[in-house]
Chains A and B, each alone.
Chain A
Amino acid sequence: MARLRDLLRPALVLAAILLPPGMARAEPAGCSAPPDAMEAAPLPGSVAALSRGALRVMVVGSASTQGGGTSGPAATWPERLEKVLGTRVAPATVQVSVFGGRGTTAADHARIIAEQAPRLRPHLIIWQLGTVEAARGLPPDEMVEAVQDSVAKLRASRGERTDVVLVDPQFSRFFRANADVETYRDRMRLAAAASGAQIFSRWTIMRHWAETERLDLERAPRAGRVAMADELHDCLARALTQFILQGTLRGPASAPRDRPPG
């Protein structure tokens, strides 16, 4: 019986993905994030982990992974991701560990990954970077090097068992006006393409939300800002969930032939 369940697990995962459980809102999953930004390439490491029943996610990043104006740690996007993704892939479990902190750079993150990955053996690394670099005008070349070295080392040690998704800065008009964000985003995209990592473009998604007036933290009245930040992080977690699920659907191990008969 247990063996049968093991066999069926990938199918259960698939079903969970295809049939989102009771959707509270009458909007598409992922808070109406633009489909372009949700296009993920296959995530073999996550697929394999989900089919075995447990996905270990390592989140590394700067301030937004820790608080980012939300009502508390439980409302940040990494925490919400654990809940939202966990619900969607149940009975498989999702465990998210968060590293980094305010003001940490890509080089700091690379060091953290080098230290923690062998211990944690994550199946998916979500690496949020670029904001500190752009805000301080740090050399983009160093950011690119950190990403490429780090992903190459992960490849060497973990092979296809660990997927890497880069997350770019949060969209903000203030930030756009006062830092050269596009340069860093361009370089980040090249670094991702060069190392085989993927990009989850928080910038594109949040810009879309701001432009369509779906979620616009900068224009939110002061009183409603914390609630809006909570919603923003929740929506980011939902969009990221969609992104990851899409990547796992395209993964080689989730071929439709595993679908149970009937």
Chain B
Amino acid sequence: MFTSIHSLVRPGRDLRVDFIRGLALWFIFIDHTPGNLLGQMTLRNVAFCDATEGFVLLAGYAAGIAYGRAMEREGWAHAAARVAGRVGTLYVAHIFLFVVFTAQVGFSAAALDQAAYLDELQLDPFGAEPYRAMLEALLLRYQPAFLDILPLYIVVLAMFALVLPLIGRPGWLLAASLTLYAAARLLDWAPPSWTGSGWFFNPLAWQLLFAIGVVLGRADPQALARRFPWNRWLAALAVLLLLATAVLLNLTWHGPARGWEVPEWLAAWLSDVDKTGLHPVRVASVLIMAWLVAHWLPAGARWLNGPPAAPFVLMGQQGLAVFCAGIFLSFLGRLALELASGGWVQAAVNLAGLAALVAIAVVSAWYGGDGKRRRAPALPASAQGATP
């Protein structure tokens, strides 16, 4: 089976990026099914950053390569139109997921009949004003829990279409991006939301990671290696920092229940690390990890090209389809974990979830979802026989 999946992998790209992206998509599925025991083993439990940072950085990386090439070949108008088309697809996907989410909430509210128990839950905006909520969702001003990554992606990608001409000048692009990031953080710039106070992910801040990804994707790997040379001591320091972060975070979260207290000033600093505005520490954390992975995982690593890595590589290559399917599947996973508990549900949700994600990637790669530009591989014999 792995071999046939492997045959669908598009060669000639940096498979590391696809692999890590596939992993990030899997983590996003896990983190979106609360109550999932695997959720205690994802990045967010040990680092300042989590799969979202990785996803946005690598989305920028992929966009830099794909639209950068289009920009060079066809000019701004064409490349921008292509980005706009992508934005449209993402928007429709988001609205579809919104409808699914709403139906799921309604269904589980009826199934669990939680009536008077959690009075506060009836305060959710959709229940209170459904018509208004629908409009606000279309305007992206209302984003229910767990439906906040796609709106971020949509806005960041739309901004990218505007600055495409800067793609040949990475210095300018980064400077513009950093300026906007600083302004968003210091001046509290944020798009409005219905509930009154900003988005869960402020796109004006989060665009920084995307821009860094674009620049990395466009850069010549050799030049990049010269710019950020490998240094064993620096790497040791980086690993030490990441380990210290993991210990510190867990001590602060779980220490008090065991009688260990973290000094207040340290905890105060930790609690200032916000996700909404993409705190600089989160940027540093994901970039340090990227640097370490880029070195330890050489582009030509044999196992990356082998069948066992193929499912994740393929998931990464078919990013959008897998992402949307992941969010959709996480709704089903949540329903399952809500209605039953125990080891077998956990195993079933995770096995079925991962299998479905891989299946989506396979189908998408096979009929050419994200890989339209390449000729679709021949249909399997049986399928060919079935078509008249």
Contact = CB atoms under 8 A, between A and B. Distances in A.
Interface of A: 36-37, 39, 41, 62-64, 67-69, 102-103, 131-132, 134-142, 144, 148, 170, 172-183, 186-187, 189-196, 198-199, 201, 211, 217-218, 222, 225, 229
B125 interface: yes
A21 B116 CA distance: 34
A63 B119 contact: yes
A67 B197 contact: no
Given A180-B34, A181-B34, A67 B256 contact: no
B35 A103 contact: no
Interface string B252-272: 110111110110100111110
Given A173-B35, A174-B118, A195-B264, A41 B256 contact: yes
B114 A172 contact: yes
Interface of B: 34-35, 39, 104-105, 108-109, 112-121, 123-125, 143-146, 195-198, 200, 252-253, 255-259, 261-262, 264, 267-271, 274-277, 334-335, 337-338, 341
Contacts of B252: 189-190, 193
A36 to B, nearest CB: 5
B375 to A, nearest CB: 42
Given A194-B270, A229-B116, 11 more contacts: A62-B120, A67-B119, A132-B120, A136-B124, A138-B196, A172-B121, A174-B118, A177-B334, A178-B104, A187-B271, A193-B271
A168 B270 CA distance: 19
20 contacts: A39-B256, A103-B120, A103-B123, A135-B118, A137-B144, A137-B145, A138-B196, A139-B198, A177-B337, A178-B105, A179-B121, A187-B271, A189-B256, A190-B270, A193-B261, A194-B268, A194-B269, A194-B270, A195-B264, A218-B112
B187 to A, nearest CB: 16
Contacts of B256: 39, 41, 189, 192-193, 198-199
A218 B267 contact: no
Contacts of A179: 121, 145
A217 B34 contact: no
A134 B256 CA distance: 23
Q: Main SS of the interface on chain A? A: helix
A69 B113 CA distance: 13
Given A180-B146, A190-B267, A194-B264, A174 B197 contact: no
Given A194-B270, A211-B341, A175 B118 contact: yes
B259 A218 contact: no
B257 A191 contact: no
Contact of A173 (B104, B125, B255, B337): B337
